[in-house]
Amino acid sequence: METKIHRLPDTVINQIAAGEVVENPASIVKELIENSIDAKAHRITVEIQGGGQQLIRVEDDGSGMGEADARLSLERHATSKIQSVDDLQTLQTMGFRGEALAAISAVSHFELKTADGSQATRILAEGGKIVAMEPCARNRGTTIEIQSLFYNVPARKKFQKSPSTNAAQVAKVVEVIALAHPEVSFTFISQGKKLFEAPAVSSWKERVEEVLGAYPHEVDFQREGLKIWGLLASPDRALANRSGQYLFINRRPIFSPLIARAVKEGYGTRIPENAFPSFVLFLDVAPERVDINVHPQKKEARFREEGQMFRLFEEAVAGAFGLPAFSEPISFDEPPVTENASFPAFSFPPRETPSFLFAEETSLPLSYTEKALAVLGSFFLLEKEGWVLVDLQAAHARVLFETLQKPQAASQALIWPLEIELTRSEAMQADTILEELQKMQIECRFLGQKTLVIDALPPFLEQKDFPEFFRTWQEGKKLEIVTDRFCRSRKKRYSLEEARLLWQKVQECTNHRYDPLGHPIWKKVEEEDFSKWMRG
């Protein structure tokens, strides 16, 4: 029988694959709910036990799958949603990488029951291997049940949060997705108790009110082919953190420090300097104008027209409070995007995408006396009582150096462990290598005589870079030299978010002025310096 799901060709995989979708129960529930939404479900029920570590069950009444598709759905890089990278330009679904079910079933006892109206199939998988497949009884739709999460990945299991924290995170995921999909009914059950129920409603306003309570100020703003709409909480409901802020771009939940600041500007002096307004805002915009870095863990958006986007949001919010609109027209001075433009709708720099980012970071790292100005390759210019130029390679080396020495730094489990073939002489020192790596929070073991398997890495050491790090380290150099050389030798271009994170982390270091070999991490820059440089 013809299947809907196909394995993506390697060329496509290389451009889109992300590899990390199963951090914790919340990220799993997010993937499963998104699948249900992609399958056009009207009703989605999420149930967990033990914060999700014992049980996660997501049930929907969507399109379901036939038997052959059901089997394919567990394969890596198998998806019904795209066939080529070009399809991303017109992507209508939340998923497209074909990684979630493969990754989730690889680390759990997994049961899939699905029916497409003519066939109903049940598949059992353990640690990614299908152990049973048979016809079953089920109405159209899909149920996925996950038990013993991470039973075979002890490193990840060890770093799971408490059941109550996990349950709260899952609840938040359900809530956030529910906000953007009023036409779907959601139920969330934890420990047998119904904690959240949102029946399908016809307007998003009803949904927001039901989920979050009254947000009295409506935003309804249209300009230059984009639409900003949503609800704002009254200024006296401003919070000390960002937990009341919800932003969706084309219905995807997105975190954007830029827009959060613009909204704050729009509130003007109605809220105090150090408070955060609560809002639910939706932006509908042509996909080519926003560069959503759709790594499953990175809900960041980048706009092609940052300045304009900032002003539009500011204006939209200010308008909701009855302020006059800016008189000056806002121009989009970048050239319009044509079909053959060199800007892809989404840009996927998967091999560049760092795994150390956003592991736990959801708050904006920069303090409010600091303003990020620009990232120039491996330099970061920021404003902080004048200008400060940060050498990101030096900062990275310092942060990595201190992280590797700090035994309490939590390492991040790799879902697909990394294997390194050792030379014969290295293999002879296997015990020493294991011991020393483990001291740096690098969780590893041996497979046979010569294969070193890495299961978890500390933050700031990316999986793709590890082999090179390991080689330099094996040359027997001191850690100062290894980290310094390692961070300086790679031609990494840092993103603005990475720059912010490094800058924040470097300030928590014992020595935040110099890299491990004594090069300065940052310097103040005066106008004079520019003048000397340009005018001699």
Q: From ligand ADP, Mg ion, none, which one binds at residue 19 (CB under 5 to 8 Å depending on kind)? A: none
Smallest distance from the beta carbon of 87 to ligand ADP, in angstroms? 11
How far is residue 136's CA from residue 119's CA, in Å, rounded to a whole number?
9
DSSP 8-class letter at 209: H
| Cβ distance to ligand ADP smaller for residue 98 or 319 | 98
Smallest distance from the beta carbon of 126 to Mg ion, in angstroms? 21
Smallest distance from the beta carbon of 74 to ligand ADP, in angstroms? 8
Q: From ligand ADP, Mg ion, none, which one binds at residue 293 (CB under 5 to 8 Å depending on kind)? A: none
Q: From ligand ADP, Mg ion, none, which one binds at residue 98 (CB under 5 to 8 Å depending on kind)? A: ligand ADP
The answer to whether residues 56 and 171 touch, using CB atoms and an 8 Å cutoff, is no
Smallest distance from the beta carbon of 28 to ligand ADP, in angstroms? 10
| Cβ distance to ligand ADP smaller for residue 99 or 455 | 99
- Written as one letter, the residue type at 312 is L
| Cβ distance to Mg ion smaller for residue 35 or 63 | 35
Q: From Mg ion, ligand ADP, none, which one binds at residue 5 (CB under 5 to 8 Å depending on kind)? A: ligand ADP
Tokens representing residue 145 in the block: 């049940």
Q: Which residue is nearest to ligand ADP (CB)?
A: 95
Smallest distance from the beta carbon of 95 to ligand ADP, in angstroms? 2
Residue 401 φ then ψ, to 5°: -55, -50
Of 227, 246, 359, 380, nearest in space to 290 by CA: 227
Of 322, 327, 316, nearest in space to 266 by CA: 316
Q: From ligand ADP, Mg ion, none, which one binds at residue 231 (CB under 5 to 8 Å depending on kind)? A: none
- In a 3-state reduction of DSSP, which class is residue 297? coil
Beta strand pairing call for 55-60 and 193-198: unpaired
Smallest distance from the beta carbon of 404 to Mg ion, in angstroms? 35
DSSP 8-class letter at 1: -
Smallest distance from the beta carbon of 75 to ligand ADP, in angstroms? 8
| Cβ distance to ligand ADP smaller for residue 42 or 371 | 42
| Cβ distance to Mg ion smaller for residue 180 or 318 | 180
Of 298, 326, 321, 288, nearest in space to 310 by CA: 326
Tell me which residues in 84-143 interact with Mg ion (CB under 5 A): 95, 100
| Cβ distance to ligand ADP smaller for residue 23 or 305 | 23
Q: Please, is 165 exposed, middle or buried when counting C-beta atoms within 10 Å of its C-beta (0-12, 13-18, 19+)?
A: middle
Smallest distance from the beta carbon of 167 to ligand ADP, in angstroms? 22
| Cβ distance to ligand ADP smaller for residue 76 or 488 | 76
Tokens representing residue 377 in the block: 């390759």
Q: Which long-range contacts (CB under 8 A, 24 or more apart) does 84-93 make?
A: 84/12, 85/12, 85/15, 85/16, 85/344, 85/348, 88/16, 88/287, 88/344, 88/345, 88/346, 89/287, 89/288, 89/344, 89/345, 90/287, 91/287, 91/345, 91/346, 93/38
Smallest distance from the beta carbon of 98 to ligand ADP, in angstroms? 4
Region from 29-37, 351-359, 482-490, 519-527 binding Mg ion, contact rule CB under 5 A: 29-37
Smallest distance from the beta carbon of 80 to ligand ADP, in angstroms? 3
| Cβ distance to ligand ADP smaller for residue 143 or 405 | 143
Smallest distance from the beta carbon of 158 to ligand ADP, in angstroms? 26
Q: Which residue is nearest to Mg ion (CB)?
A: 95
How far is residue 127's CA from residue 108's CA, in Å, rounded to a whole number?
6
| Cβ distance to ligand ADP smaller for residue 146 or 397 | 146
The residues that touch ligand ADP, with contacts defined as CB under 6 A, are 4-5, 31, 35-36, 39, 60, 62-65, 73, 79-81, 95-102, 142
How far is residue 129's CA from residue 74's CA, in Å, rounded to a whole number?
9
**Is the torsion defined by CA of 430, 435, 441, 447 positive or negative?**
positive
Q: What's the first-to-final CA gap in the chain, in angstroms?
A: 74
Tokens representing residue 158 in the block: 């060890």
Q: From Mg ion, ligand ADP, none, which one binds at residue 99 (CB under 5 to 8 Å depending on kind)? A: ligand ADP
Question: Angle 68-69-75 (CA atoms, 0-180°, nearest 5)?
Answer: 105
Q: From Mg ion, ligand ADP, none, which one binds at residue 251 (CB under 5 to 8 Å depending on kind)? A: none
Q: Please, is 130 exposed, middle or buried when counting C-beta atoms within 10 Å of its C-beta (0-12, 13-18, 19+)?
A: middle
- Pick one of 24, 27, 35, 121: the residue that binds Mg ion (CB under 5 A): 35
- Written as one letter, the residue type at 386 is G
| Cβ distance to ligand ADP smaller for residue 122 or 396 | 122
Q: From ligand ADP, Mg ion, none, which one binds at residue 73 (CB under 5 to 8 Å depending on kind)? A: ligand ADP
Q: From Mg ion, ligand ADP, none, which one binds at residue 457 (CB under 5 to 8 Å depending on kind)? A: none
| Cβ distance to ligand ADP smaller for residue 64 or 458 | 64
- In a 3-state reduction of DSSP, which class is residue 402? helix
Q: From Mg ion, ligand ADP, none, which one binds at residue 81 (CB under 5 to 8 Å depending on kind)? A: ligand ADP
| Cβ distance to ligand ADP smaller for residue 98 or 266 | 98
* Maximum CA extent, the chain: 81
Beta strand pairing call for 252-253 and 245-249: antiparallel
Tokens representing residue 409 in the block: 């730094």
Q: From ligand ADP, Mg ion, none, which one binds at residue 39 (CB under 5 to 8 Å depending on kind)? A: ligand ADP
Region from 35-43, 258-266, 270-278, 507-515 binding Mg ion, contact rule CB under 5 A: 35-43
Residue 399 engages Mg ion in binding (rule: CB under 5 A): no
| Cβ distance to Mg ion smaller for residue 96 or 276 | 96
Can you give the binding site for Mg ion, defined by CB under 5 A? 35, 95, 100
